[in-house]
Amino acid sequence: MSTTLFDKVWDSHVVRKIEDGPDVLFIDRHLIHEVTSPVAFLGLKSRKNSVLYPGRTFATADHNTPTINQHLPVEDPLSANQLKALEENSAEWGISHWGLGHQNNGIVHVVGPENGITLPGATIVCGDSHTSTHGAFGAIAFGIGTSEVEMVLSSQCIMQPKPKKMRININGKLGFGVTPKDVALFIISKLTTSGATGYFVEYAGDVFKNMTMEGRMTVCNLSIEMGARGGIVAPDEQTFEYIKGRTFTPKGTAWDKAMNYWETLKTDEDAVFDKEYTFDASEIEPMITYGTNPGMGTGISQNIPNAGEVEGGVATYKKSLDYMGFHEGDSMIGKKVDYVFLGSCTNGRIEDFRAFASIVKGRKKADTITAWLVPGSHIVEAKIKEEGLLDILTEAGFALREPGCSACLAMNDDKVPAGKVAVSTSNRNFEGRQGPGSRTLLASPLVAAATAVTGVVTDPRTLL
Amino acid sequence: MAYDKFEILKSTAVPLPIENVDTDQIIPARFLKATERKGFGDNLFRDWRYNPDNTPKEQFVLNNPIYKGKILVGGKNFGSGSSREHAAWAVYDYGFRCVVSSFFADIFRGNCLNVGVLPVQVSATFLDKIFKAIEADPNTEIEINLPNQTITMLASGEEESFDINSYKKQNMLNGFDDIDYLVKKKEEIKKFAENRPF
């Protein structure tokens, strides 16, 4: 029978099927961080269970960590307490732990691929919805709740009904200044924030084939923003090239054995999806969001749509624009911006910093802009320095912070003040996401850079 | 964590007729810093419920004494966004045992079932009827009957059935969760693990 890539990976991980119930799914790799794991460890202890396979779980501190002075004690006692819990729980159970200051520390979805934890054909979970990122490697990767974190710790399995299958094809060539972030925001604007709920999405077609691994990560990362549990791209030569030789990647005969498996990971030609969408790359321009969910996005040269032109209730739409302080029909270009955030598991990798630097090179940060540039990991940070990007950024008036989730969800001090507008390369523009009362415009690193030097929303194509 | 059994719930309901209520609204990230599962109900819908100076926002439904009950009725695509189980904990800790909507985000739905909150998905038409009934009479009683998988507006008798798989239904009826089930299957899981390529 013809099957999809998703079927192949999922079915090979089913330990047992429960009639009219979920599948018991084996998890190859489990990532944990300080915010969603402490209660799982408490549960484990109170039930007198133990961690079944400590070598399959990897801990990194990222969500609430400060992005300056990481060598000093963390000031916020609650954050410090969570970080301590992660460290102690990891030590107690023999789990690899990359705390603050560790050379491999960084955002969980950045360090996973960087260190070869992320592998094709693997099942990967983490108590974080952007775990979908790892689908870029042909893995089934998705976010879970804390009860499920406890399940994985104690049994290396979770119980999940198998999602339906969707394929999104984009063929053709992306236009000038159009990045993977724009591709993702474009898809979400077409499907809406709930358009893929209940589905697992395979991305196919020229655009994804020709996209770098980091670009694929950005797209898969944002799969959750249209409701999908995850996204997946078939592994190819580029994938194998990327993972080869990394710390946790199989070596020697184990690599050869894994390659035999990985080479089977593709969707059969006549496999059937429950839903399929096809777009042409030429339809996509640099994108920006104007509302309070990631589906409320538009081409940067377009005006904010009228309520009648978009799906969903008028009251909800108006509430959203009111929060943003925007109006139907407004132009996005030229809107005044106060903050620019480059970073997060969506756009905190080296290619994102290269893109940002390509625009600010030889220009100056606008005086009215506060900019936070936060690398996704220490490895990214080191590359920024190695490649001379730091000099370009410094010359243009920008400073580099230390790695972490930072202003993406503002659990640390990197909070956008109430009423202020941020152009952000992160993944969510929900009310208050970047700090109570903050207003977020999601966009690519190119749009963020163009905005950072002008002080207003700017089409990067005018500066490239 | 075990939770109370769920069989038949008869209660008034709190209406929240907003679409795409995301988990950042249900519980903002800055309240996720606990290392124990305690006190999340106090911060349920924090920024919609309170002003920055912590005074209640009077117009928000949870601050309106007319509306109360163990059932929360939300607009389409309830619980989208972050996977934080803290959102389901906050709903439970506040005192809700059931959330009704015409559409739920996947992870939130799963989290609810794992912590003892029953997500009841109804048609858009039925959801609209519930909102209208509560608007006309905040004392409108709703019955959620899990064994029969029905939701009924008691005054009018209008009823709809809802889906839940039989495994999860048994769990909710008995107050069980998945962890006990999985730990019992450990030997089977270990055998399976031996054959994994990595």
Q: Convert the pLDDT of each residue in B33-71 to its tens digit.
A: 999 999 999 999 999 999 999 999 999 999 999 999 999
Q: How confident is the model over A155-207, as pLDDT tens digits?
A: 999 999 999 999 999 999 999 999 999 999 999 999 999 999 999 999 999 99
| A155, B185 contact by CB (below 8 A) | yes
| A226, A196 contact by CB (below 8 A) | yes
Residues of B in contact with A11 (CB under 8 A): none
Kindly indicate whether the ipTM for this predicted assembly is greater than 0.90, answering yes or no: yes
- The answer to whether B25 contacts A430, with C-beta atoms less than 8 Å apart, is yes
- The answer to whether B35 contacts A312, with C-beta atoms less than 8 Å apart, is no
- The answer to whether A436 contacts B28, with C-beta atoms less than 8 Å apart, is yes
- The answer to whether B193 contacts A53, with C-beta atoms less than 8 Å apart, is yes
pTM for this one?
Answer: 0.97
8-state DSSP, A141: E
Shortest distance between the Cα of A138 and any Cα of chain B, in A, equals 15
Which of B19, B22, B28 is opposite residue A313, by nearest beta carbon? B19
Which residue shows structure tokens 């959620």? B144
- The answer to whether B189 contacts A229, with C-beta atoms less than 8 Å apart, is no
Shortest distance between the Cα of B156 and any Cα of chain A, in A, equals 26
- The answer to whether B111 contacts A129, with C-beta atoms less than 8 Å apart, is no
In chain A, the percentage of residues whose pLDDT exceeds 70 is 100
pLDDT value, residue B58 = 95
| Superfamily classification of domain A5-160+242-255 | Aconitase, domain 3 (3.30.499.10)
> How many residues in total does chain A contain?
464
pLDDT value, residue B2 = 63
**Cross-strand partners of B73:** B15, B100
| A183, A289 contact by CB (below 8 A) | no
Q: Rounded CA gap, A193 and A187, in Å?
A: 10
Shortest distance between the Cα of A82 and any Cα of chain B, in A, equals 6
Token output for B156: 């009018």
CATH topology of domain A164-235+266-283: Aconitase; Domain 2 (3.40.1060)
**Cross-strand partners of A439:** A421
CB atoms within 10 A of CB B58: 8
Say whether residue A53 is in contact with chain B using an 8 A CB cutoff.
Answer: yes
CA A415 to chain centre: 19
Residues of B in contact with A119 (CB under 8 A): 198
Instruction: Tell which of A74, A83, A157 to mutate to test the B interface (max B CBs under 10 Å).
Output: A157
| A34, A411 contact by CB (below 8 A) | no
Q: Rounded CA gap, A61 and A210, in Å?
A: 33
| A13, A26 contact by CB (below 8 A) | yes
- Looking at the predicted structure, is the pLDDT value of residue B164 above 90? yes
Which of B33, B168, B188 is opposite residue A82, by nearest beta carbon? B33
Domain boundaries, chain A: 5-160+242-255, 164-235+266-283, 287-462
8-state DSSP, B14: E
Q: Rounded CA gap, A305 and A321, in Å?
A: 11
Say whether residue B184 is in contact with chain A using an 8 A CB cutoff.
Answer: no
Instruction: Tell which of B3, B18, B20 to mutate to test the A interface (max A CBs under 10 Å).
Output: B20
Q: Rounded CA gap, A214 and B58, in Å?
A: 47
- Looking at the predicted structure, is the pLDDT value of residue A377 above 60? yes
CA A277 to chain centre: 22
Three-state SS for A332? Answer: coil
pLDDT value, residue A36 = 97
Domain with residues A287-462, CATH architecture: 2-Layer Sandwich (3.30)
- Looking at the predicted structure, is the pLDDT value of residue A91 above 80? yes
- Looking at the predicted structure, is the pLDDT value of residue B150 above 90? yes
Residue window 15-34, chain B: list those with CB within 8 Å of chain A: 17-20, 22, 24-25, 28-30, 32-34
Say whether residue A79 is in contact with chain B using an 8 A CB cutoff.
Answer: yes
Shortest distance between the Cα of A41 and any Cα of chain B, in A, equals 10
Shortest distance between the Cα of B85 and any Cα of chain A, in A, equals 5
Cβ-Cβ contacts under 8 Å for A8 (sequence gap 6 or more): A121, A264, A265
Q: Rounded CA gap, A187 and A170, in Å?
A: 10
Cβ-Cβ contacts under 8 Å for B74 (sequence gap 6 or more): B16, B17, B18, B21, B99, B100, B101
pLDDT confidence of A1, banded at 50, 70, 90? Answer: confident
pLDDT confidence of A311, banded at 50, 70, 90? Answer: confident
Ordered structural domains, chain B, with CATH: 8-194 (3.20.19.10)
Q: What is the DSSP string of B90-130?
A: HHHHHT--EEEES-B-HHHHHHHHHHTPEEEE--HHHHHHH
8-state DSSP, B168: H
pLDDT value, residue B4 = 84
* Domains A164-235+266-283 and A287-462 belong to one CATH topology: no
Q: Which residue stretches of A123-198 are H helix?
A: 146-155, 180-191
Q: How confident is the model over A391-432, as pLDDT tens digits?
A: 999 999 999 999 999 999 999 999 999 999 999 999 999 999
Strand ranges across the sheet with A29-32? A96-98, A57-60, A29-32, A123-126, A140-143
Q: What are residue A214's phi and psi, to 5 degrees?
A: -65, -35
Q: Rounded CA gap, B99 and B108, in Å?
A: 11
pLDDT value, residue B108 = 97
Instruction: Tell which of B38, B173, B182 to mutate to test the A interface (max A CBs under 10 Å).
Output: B182
Residues of A in contact with B47 (CB under 8 A): 431-432, 436-437
Q: What is the DSSP string of A249-318?
A: S--HHHHHHHHHHHTT-S--TT---SEEEEEEGGG---EEE-SSSTT-EEETTSBPPPGGGSSS-HHHHH
CA distances from A253 to A134, A258, A259, A262, A265 (A): 24, 8, 10, 14, 19
Token output for B174: 């008995």
- Looking at the predicted structure, is the pLDDT value of residue B5 above 70? yes
Q: How confident is the model over A256-301, as pLDDT tens digits?
A: 999 999 999 999 999 999 999 999 999 999 999 999 999 999 999 9
Helices (H) and strands (E) in chain A, counts: 16, 18
